Amino acid sequence: MHYEPSGDDTVVCVGPQGCGKSTFSRTLYALLRQAGLSPCWINQDEAGGGRQFLDAIRRAQRGGHTHLIMDKMNLDEGARDGYADLGLRALTVVWSHPDGTDALVDICFDRIRRRGSAHRTFKADRGEGRRVRQTLLGLCDAVPSTNRGAAG
């Protein structure tokens, strides 16, 4: 099968810390490269703050990439407002668990706790376990049910 891009396709990852967005994004990026395509992976932790992340998206849109992979939590509308008007043609990948939000949070929290201080933005090794878990629950409750931020 031959892929003929008609503009960049965007994959928007949605999920809390520890759910596997970055692992998925890096894997998808590598597979697309292996297939001879030209993806661009943008991770907000590496891009910097919100403004730098939006600038990286704009540069990627002009860069002739076949795919744009957005590795950011994207859990609420406010997190997506900055790029809602960029005309992205997006496939949204939302992490969930068949046993519900608590099960997803338990898995994510365990992964964050095992990671310790290895993550740049979310650390669970400072005796803040209860706060981290509550934050994850709140974030998961905000997971979007719509594809806001993408042009369809």
Region of poorest pLDDT, from 15-24, 30-39, 106-115: 106-115
Sequence-ordered list of residues with C-beta below 8 angstroms from that of 26, at least 6 positions apart, any chain: 41
pLDDT bucket at 28, cuts 50 / 70 / 90: very high
Regarding pTM above 0.95, the answer is: no
Is 1 among the domain residues?
no
Is 4 among the domain residues?
no
Is 13 among the domain residues?
yes
We report the CATH number of the domain holding residue 50 as 3.40.50.300
Domain span at residue 50?
9-141
Residue (of 105, 85, 87) closest to 97 by Cα position: 105
Is 95 among the domain residues?
yes
Is 3 among the domain residues?
no
Is 152 among the domain residues?
no
- pLDDT, tens digit, for every residue of 79-93? 666 777 788 888 888
The total of structural domains in the chain comes to 1
Region of poorest pLDDT, from 34-43, 93-102, 106-115: 106-115
pLDDT higher at 126 or 79: 79
